[in-house]
Structure 1
Amino acid sequence: MTEQPKLRPERPFFSSGPTCKPPGWSLDKIDTKSLGRSHRSAYAKGRLKYAIDLSKELLGVPEDYLVGIMPGSDTGALECAMWTMLGARPATVAAWESFGNVWIQDAVKQLKLKDLTVLDADYGEIPDLGSIPQDNDVVFTWNGTTSGAKIPNTDWLAPGRAGVTINDATSAVFAMEMDWAKLDATTYSWQKVMGSEAQHGMLILGPKAVERIESYDPEWPLPKLFRLKKGGKINRSIFEGATINTPSMLATEDYIVALEWAKSIGGREAMFERANRNAKTVTDWIESTPWLRNMVSDPAKRTNTGVCMVFQGDWYESLSAEEQAAVPKKIASTLEKMDVGYDFNGYRDAPPSLRIWCGGSLEQEDIARLLPWIEWAYEELKEGRL
């Protein structure tokens, strides 16, 4: 019988989105001067611009790239990029997990792109990205939030390629370095690696993306929330704090708190190091735990944010499919009720699994304390005590 652990995580927040708040976060750290003000007021607009500028600085975005705040979280930002740029030339949409498959559905069923190639792969795998023609526009997810599989490199994107690259980087930015020279449109949301509030996304456009938007009018109507042009040119005010629709200033101020914290600890490099340490804690434990395996078999493709693991071994494999699906759910729900760990069950569309978020806002010690509890709950379940 495995003894119940004594140490509990001080902050038991392991969700993959919205993720754990930065260490030391509290409501009294939020600047409230912009609340109750028009988002068009000089002060509120200045705060929106500050969030944009600080994001650009911390991410190392090139000076000639535009960064803007979009409605609808990463989904709104990514769909805006797809709806405004695709259709001008052949396109490839590559996916290997749930959210990437949403972009496939957009391309196939909503935009109905005439010259479209779809590349997909099972959870834990990456499709053959090298097969994508360099003349094609391409939509891809840098890091699979629901599978734990990331692209190992950008070698498959040729410098100066003709097609536009649209990169969903929502669970990658602030944890992995972006190869900006090969990225024309990149999107993410505040509620992923930075642990901020949801509903707002970021759209980062390089010169090639701006040129595409200015020179191309898609055949489908664009909702107001996706309209980036004014008088045939990119509406640069959107990238200077004048949002398309009314933003939440409370969420904006919360995001600023997270950005300032990241800057205070050393910027994105420090965030990378924290995520790498956190992920190593989990991946090393998986390797030493015989009844678990990493969902991603190739170490070069394993994420340092949402680490996903599946069960194996004689006992688990003797269970019915329904019983297997219940294993991670029972472990996660048991530890949630005990306030040991929240929201680390695998994604609903993924194979039965556990998923532990390891982004930079988490403390390594909290992750290390969670793991023995998972071992204890597994043994309790195996012995019929859960």
Structure 2
Amino acid sequence: MKKHNFSAGPAILPASVIQEAAAGVANLNGSGLSVLEISHRSADFVKILDEAESLVRELLGVGDDYAVLFLTGGASSQFYLSAMNLLAEDQTAGYIDTGAWSAKAIKEARNFGNVEILASSKDSNYTYIPQDVNIPNGLRYVHLTSNNTIFGTQFREFPDTDAPLISDMSSDIFSRRIPLEKFGLIYAGAQKNMGPAGVTLVIVRKDLLGQVNRTLPTMLDYRTHIAKKSSFNTPPVFPIYVSMLTLRWVKAQGGLEAMEKHNAEKAQLLYDEIDRNPKFRGTVTDPASRSLMNVTFVPTDEADLEPFLAAAAAAGCEGVKGHRSVGGFRASIYNSMPKESVQALVDVMKAF
């Protein structure tokens, strides 16, 4: 039976990428060596790293005023690294609280400077994205989480501010076009739309660095990794390789414009069924806040929870159980999820 992988992450990868990656594990480009055992200083890996950076720049429109880094530690490490590198003790950063990950980022940033919570949807268990947020002038930066995997919400538009935006884009990077000029720093764990777990993408505007007075440990200073082209220490070779293959795939599909169209069609198919079907109810209260990546919904009758999960599993739909913070169901439909798999889940819902 065909499996339809709705896991929130690590998430589905394109089948062709998995095949190419498997071939590279056995023998990278006819070198007689596995990608798992080549030196990170070798010409073979430098070529991979250069292509990965080039693809990031091409797909997102990243200019030379930004550095592109491939680091480790996940987005969770970037919660404190971003503030440590950019926020001085006497400065204030604005944070928009839309879920578990932004709340953790707020906690970490308070170790380094002043934090002003500009808006929050915590009062409704994060069922919407705050709109028309009043953002004062003079902030060092404004931080937001672009897509919330747990609660199924997403910023469809990014706020205007005189301060640069910082965004955790772990779960929707490369899924749509973004106004890069608004951002001073973007970070993203790879394991949703870009590759396997183990590498974290950081895009940072270089002129924002070197302006805090605190002493930064060498490994925690973005400038260290810029100077050494992401290879100050041994980088995560295999995750970078698979990410490079995935970005090649995104480009071959038509780039971010094609991804955006593809993702919108899949999400509409599923949301239409949720809205039509009396057995289910969407958890996001504002339709304009609905995520195109993570669709969250609950049964109208709680007694239907386990029977529906069983029906979904019988149809090969895996990873549909919702996060404990929301309950019910969650269908993660990242870039690599084909529309046919979303249709398979919709068919189960109709039959149910």
- Normalised TM-score (structure 1): 0.79
The number of equivalent residue pairs is 338
Q: Distance in 2 between matches of 1:339 and 1:75?
A: 35
Give the equivalent residue in structure 2 for 1:321: none
Give the equivalent residue in structure 2 for 1:282: 270
Alignment CA distance shift 1:118-1:347 (3 Å) = farther
What's the secondary structure of 1:153's corresponding residue? coil
Shift of residue 43, structure 1, vs aligned partner: 2.6
1:13 aligns with 2:14: no
Shift of residue 223, structure 1, vs aligned partner: 4.7
Shift of residue 288, structure 1, vs aligned partner: 0.8
What's the secondary structure of 2:191's corresponding residue? coil
Whether the aligned pair in 1 keeps the contact of 2:188 and 2:201 (CA below 8 Å) is: yes
* Cα RMSD (Å): 2.5
Alignment CA distance shift 1:131-1:139 (3 Å) = same
Q: Distance in 2 between matches of 1:183 and 1:258?
A: 24
Give the equivalent residue in structure 1 for 2:213: 217
Q: Distance in 2 between matches of 1:265 and 1:38?
A: 31
Shift of residue 42, structure 1, vs aligned partner: 3.1
Q: Distance in 2 between matches of 1:92 and 1:329?
A: 41
Shift of residue 310, structure 1, vs aligned partner: 2.6
Q: Distance in 2 between matches of 1:334 and 1:55?
A: 39
Give the equivalent residue in structure 1 for 2:31: none
- Normalised TM-score (structure 2): 0.86
Give the equivalent residue in structure 2 for 1:124: 127
1:194-273 equivalent positions in 2, closer than 5 A: 194=194, 196-206=195-205, 210-218=206-214, 222-229=216-223, 236-238=226-228, 240=229, 242-273=230-261
Return 5+ residue gaps in structure 1 as ranges.
Answer: 1-7, 317-323, 380-386
1:171-210 equivalent positions in 2, closer than 5 A: 171-194=171-194, 196-206=195-205, 210=206
What whole-Å deviation, never above 9, does each CA across 1:46-98 have from its counterpart, x for those lacking one?
Answer: 31121111122112223422111011223234432122112352122212112
Give the equivalent residue in structure 2 for 1:383: none
What's the secondary structure of 1:366's corresponding residue? helix
What's the secondary structure of 2:298's corresponding residue? strand
Q: Distance in 2 between matches of 1:245 and 1:353?
A: 43
Return 5+ residue gaps in structure 2 as ranges.
Answer: 29-34
Shift of residue 151, structure 1, vs aligned partner: 1.7
Aligned partner of 2:343 among 368, 379, 382: 368
Q: Distance in 2 between matches of 1:353 and 1:224?
A: 44
**Deviating more after overlay: 327-336 vs 89-98:** 327-336
Give the equivalent residue in structure 1 for 2:289: 301
Whether the aligned pair in 1 keeps the contact of 2:295 and 2:331 (CA below 8 Å) is: yes
Letter in 1 for 2:270: V
1:133 aligns with 2:136: yes
Q: Distance in 2 between matches of 1:222 and 1:332?
A: 48
What's the secondary structure of 2:4's corresponding residue? coil
Alignment CA distance shift 1:356-1:99 (3 Å) = same
Give the equivalent residue in structure 2 for 1:384: none
Q: Distance in 1 between matches of 2:48 and 2:152?
A: 34
Q: Distance in 2 between matches of 1:82 and 1:141?
A: 15
Shift of residue 99, structure 1, vs aligned partner: 1.2
Give the equivalent residue in structure 2 for 1:145: 149
1:60 aligns with 2:61: yes
Q: Distance in 2 between matches of 1:364 and 1:180?
A: 28
Letter in 1 for 2:197: A
Give the equivalent residue in structure 2 for 1:89: 91
**Deviating more after overlay: 166-175 vs 77-86:** 77-86
Q: Distance in 1 between matches of 2:61 and 2:120?
A: 30
Whether the aligned pair in 2 keeps the contact of 1:70 and 1:77 (CA below 8 Å) is: no
